[in-house]
Structure 1
Amino acid sequence: MSLEKEPEVQRALDQLTTLLQDNEVVQRYQNVKARIDQNTAVHTLEEAIKQAQKEAVHFAHYGKPEAEKQALKRADELTKQLEEHPLVIAYRESLSEANDLLQHLTGLIQKEINDAIEDETKHD
């Protein structure tokens, strides 16, 4: 690609970025992510899971298999609660939708680039 086309590429990239930021799927994802980031219940569950996992490692290190088993069971129960939290479910769904959109756009861009390269090599 020649250097004089770089500003054109940058403008196209800026336009695409703006379009993505304005896209309903991306906005929904950003909204849910912001709600998750501010949700104390979700953060409390995450911290409790980490603590139970640390306890399990600690108990394993000191040869206390029954205590380790209980800590792992507690971590699993807390993880299940976290995964079933409505906000976490909404987050995963919106993340998946946004990811699908980005993968689709990436595929379209890749196809356009490949087609342009093919056309260029045919004319050389």
Structure 2
Amino acid sequence: MTYSKEEIVAKAREVADMIAQTEEVEFFKRAEAQINENQKIREKIASLKSLQKQAVNFQHYGKERALELIESKIAKIEEEIDAVPIVQEFKQSQTDVNSLLQMVSTAIANQVTNNIITSTGGDLLRGETGSQVRNSPANKK
């Protein structure tokens, strides 16, 4: 059976919907909402963005000393933000969701490769397609 690109994309959307309904994604959404509801964190993030813009300007104009001062302020605010437990949980949830996406991507790539090898009469253990196996020095004797 041959599938069209449209059919494959439709299945990919189904998988994406499944991923969006995992515990990892649900936790990510809850943590993000808690961060957005926290006035103190929002203020620190706004301050951080402002300082980052200043840093870009100082860098652009070659203001090295001012840039160093701003970068130390940025680092301090980043540490303060990172010290908040919900931020740590949010960052962990980002890592978890990214790991899940990577696992799905790897599983798809591996399955496609295995199907190609198998369908061509290849050798899964050696990772060779059928044409590689037929044309290998061991089979040319």
Q: Where on the TM-score scale, by shorter chain, does this alignment land: which range?
A: 0.7 to 0.9
Whose helix fraction is larger, Structure 1's or Structure 2's?
Answer: 1
Normalization by structure 2: what TM-score?
Answer: 0.65
Rate the CA distance shift 1:41–1:115 in 2: closer, same or farther, 3 A.
same
Rate the CA distance shift 1:75–1:114 in 2: closer, same or farther, 3 A.
same
Indicate the percent of aligned positions where both proteins have the same amino acid.
17
Larger Rg: 1 or 2? 2
Matched residue, 1:23: 22
Of structures 1 and 2, the one with the larger relative CO (CA 8 A, separation 6+) is: 1
Cα deviation code 1:52-88 (max 9, x no counterpart):
4527955xx59694x6654443332212101112221
Rate the CA distance shift 1:121–1:75 in 2: closer, same or farther, 3 A.
same
Superposition pairs for residues 40-119 of structure 1, below 5 Å? Answer: 40-53=39-52, 54=54, 58=58, 65=65, 70-119=69-118
| Unaligned ranges ≥5, structure 2 | 122-129, 132-141
RMSD: 3.3
Between the aligned partners of 1:64 and 1:11, the Cα distance in structure 2 is 52
Normalization by structure 1: what TM-score?
Answer: 0.72
